[in-house]
Amino acid sequence: MANMKEIARMAGVSLGTVSHVLNRSAPVREPLRRRVEEAVQAAGYQPSALARGLRRDKTNMIGMVIPDVTNPFFPAVVRGAEDTAFANGYRLVLCNTDNDHSKELVHLNELRTYLPSGLIVIPSDFSDLTRQAESYQRSGAAVVCVDRLPRRWHGDSVTAANEQGAHAATRYLIQLGHRRIAAITGPLHLTNSEQRLRGFRRAMAEADLPIAPEYLQESSFDLAGGRSRALLLLRMLPRPTAIFGGNDMIAMGVLQAIRELGLRCPEDVSVMGFDDLDFAALINPPLASVLQPGYQLGATAARILLDRVHGDGGPARHIVLPTELRIRESVAPPRASEAGAGKTRAGGARAAGRTTPRSRKKQ
């Protein structure tokens, strides 16, 4: 492919002029500009992204570092980021960390050599991002943190309203009449898990409901963890009438455990998830959940990053996107014999969440 010198020769102008036409970095008078544009057309010339990046000390790449694309929640975040980046001429380099902070470190170090404009990171467990980000920022690259934060993070971040979401979900269960509500949280060293737990606790406290310590189980964010903790919970006496899962995978595990024990959802146990993954509405019974706007999370992170690239030097922004309760058939009032004494039967609760159909997958 032709290079810029070639174009300059063809158009009979200097290198600088070609560059100025290409980048609008200086006014170029009509006749020259036209000649350059025609030469570019004729040669099918495209500037080398490498040479450009080398010279400018910055490329239009954005490093996207996430635990695992294969995890059903993350693709939406990636897609949101990619769309926004793409629309602005930026490209995403995708890195999976498997939640391993040493693998994350490798990616972070490697990525630097490409001089990306910035990084969008969903931190791994025990991430060292805070320190790494400093060196990026020193070299003018922006770093935005998404979904969960590493310890001591003070930079830009975009997260979901985990606490509110969990609070609303728990409150809904309480309004339905549940009193013995258990929770299976995700790993509590993750800020999002911890926030969800806090929301759960707050709702329970506000209703003056005690939380039996054994009703609080910590699990990994997966189906197996949810299932095993649910098996424990479901065998306790008295048995909880509702279980709040730290995410939808956990909730799926709960549903599985319920089936295995010959119990029924929602008749015997109500189940609430978190994330509202696509399949939540599709399973049987449809899973009530707290919608987390994955796409928006990614898109917003990219937006902030681009603002930084374009010179926004303001203080760190901490965007918290609203969550939304999606009520579905996996939650129902407890059996009459179980209903909280004196509690009304969730008169207004039904209005708290609406079920909106979602489906737009194509292959």
Partner DNA sequence: AGGGGAGAATGAAAGCATTCAATCCAATGC
Partner DNA sequence: GCATTGGATTGAATGCTTTCATTCTCCCCT
Residue 108 CB neighbours (<10 A): 25
CA distance 227 to 24: 60
Taking CB under 8 A as the criterion, the residue among 36, 76, 233, 302 binding a second copy is 76
Using DSSP's 3-state secondary structure scheme, residue 290 falls into strand
Minimum CB separation from DNA for residue 277, in Å? Answer: 42
Shorter beta-carbon distance to DNA: residue 180 or 308? 308
Contacted entry of a second copy, DNA, none for residue 209, CB cut-off 5 to 8 Å set by kind: none
| Nearest distance, CB of residue 280 and a second copy, angstroms | 10
Helices 162-176 & 191-206 angle (0-180, nearest 10): 40
Residue 137 lies near a second copy (rule: CB under 8 A): no
Contacting residue, 2, 115, 216, 261, with a second copy by CB under 8 A: 115
**CA torsion through residues 26, 29, 35, 38, sign:** positive
Residue 73's nearest CA partner among 202, 194, 252, 244 is 252
**75 makes contact with a second copy (CB under 8 A):** yes
Taking the least distance from each CB to a second copy, the nearer of 113 and 337 is 113
Q: Which DSSP string corresponds to 68-114?
A: -TTSTTHHHHHHHHHHHHHHTT-EEEEEE-TT-HHHHHHHHHHHHTT
Which one among 15, 26, 42, 50 touches a second copy, defined by CB under 8 A?
Answer: 50
Contacts of 309 by beta carbon, 8 Å cutoff, 6+ apart: 117, 118, 142
- The interface partner of residue 19, options being a second copy, DNA, none and the CB cut-off 5 to 8 Å by kind, is DNA
- The answer to whether the CB of 92 falls within 8 A of the CB of 116 is no
Site for DNA in 29-88 (CB under 7 A): 29, 31-33, 45-48, 51-52, 54-57
Contacting range for a second copy; rule: CB under 8 A; set: 10-18, 109-117, 231-239, 321-329: 109-117
Question: Of the listed pieces 18-26, 200-208, 244-252, 337-345, which binds a second copy according to CB under 8 A?
Answer: 244-252
41 Cβ contact partners less than 8 Å away, ≥ 6 residues apart:
none
- Torsion, Cα 262 265 270 274, to 10 degrees, reads 110
Rounded Cα gap, residues 75 and 175, in angstroms? 34
Q: Which stretch binds a second copy (CB under 8 A): 18-26, 27-35, 90-98, 177-185?
A: 90-98
With binding defined as CB under 8 A, does residue 228 bind a second copy? no
Residue 311 has which token pair?
A: 């010179």
Measured from the CB of residue 60, what is the shortest distance to a second copy in angstroms?
9
Q: Applying CB under 8 A, which of residues 23, 48, 102, 355 lies at the interface with a second copy?
A: 48
- 3-state class (DSSP) for residue 197: helix
Q: Would you tell me which residues interact with DNA (CB under 7 A)?
A: 1, 3-5, 13-20, 22-23, 25-29, 31-33, 45-48, 51-52, 54-57
Q: Would you tell me which residues interact with a second copy (CB under 8 A)?
A: 1, 46-51, 53-54, 59, 61, 64, 67-76, 78-79, 82-83, 86, 91-96, 99, 109-115, 139, 186, 220-224, 247, 249, 252, 256, 259, 278-279, 282-284, 295, 359-363
